[in-house]
């Protein structure tokens, strides 16, 4: 009888550990945080933006890009050279080399 109890105890522990492991794998990956700002200039393979929020002093940030960086302008594929001063951009990830640079489609203005 003791042998069966030990066997069931070991089996129960194995099942609990595998259930915890499966639950960890089922969690979705964290979404990369985006750095948002306004384009100041394109400098070679770097993008310089002002990432200051309203009411803050200018906060110039230089973002490195590479051949894998995807640029999307208002839903269409673009190139780094297509970006121009004043455009609002969202860059992911918020640190390191940019993987994605997106210029969102502007929201229509509401008539008053």
Predicted TM-score of the model (pTM): 0.65
Residue 3 domain-assigned (yes or no): no
Q: How many domains does the chain have?
A: 1
Cα separation of 109 and 97, whole Å?
Answer: 34
What does the pLDDT look like over 17-35, one tens digit per residue? 777 666 555 555 556 688 9
Q: Please tell me the predicted confidence (pLDDT) of residue 46.
A: 93
Residue 78 domain-assigned (yes or no): yes
- Which structural domain, as residue segments, surrounds residue 51? 35-103
Residue 26 domain-assigned (yes or no): no
Residue 62 domain-assigned (yes or no): yes
Cα separation of 22 and 85, whole Å?
Answer: 48
**What CATH number does the domain containing 84 carry?**
2.40.50
The total of other beta-carbon atoms located within 10 Å of residue 42's CB is 17
């Amino acid at each position: 009888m003791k042998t069966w109890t030990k066997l069931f105890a070991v089996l129960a522990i194995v099942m609990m550990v595998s259930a915890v492991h499966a639950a960890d794998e089922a969690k979705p990956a964290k979404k990369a945080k985006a750095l948002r700002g306004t384009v100041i200039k394109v400098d070679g393979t770097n993008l310089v933006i002002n990432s200051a929020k309203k009411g803050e002093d200018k906060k110039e940030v230089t973002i490195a890009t590479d051949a894998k960086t995807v640029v999307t302008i208002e839903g269409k594929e673009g190139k780094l050279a297509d970006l121009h001063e004043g455009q609002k951009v969202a860059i992911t990830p918020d640190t390191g080399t940019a993987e994605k640079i997106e210029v969102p489609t502007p929201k229509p203005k509401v008539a008053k």
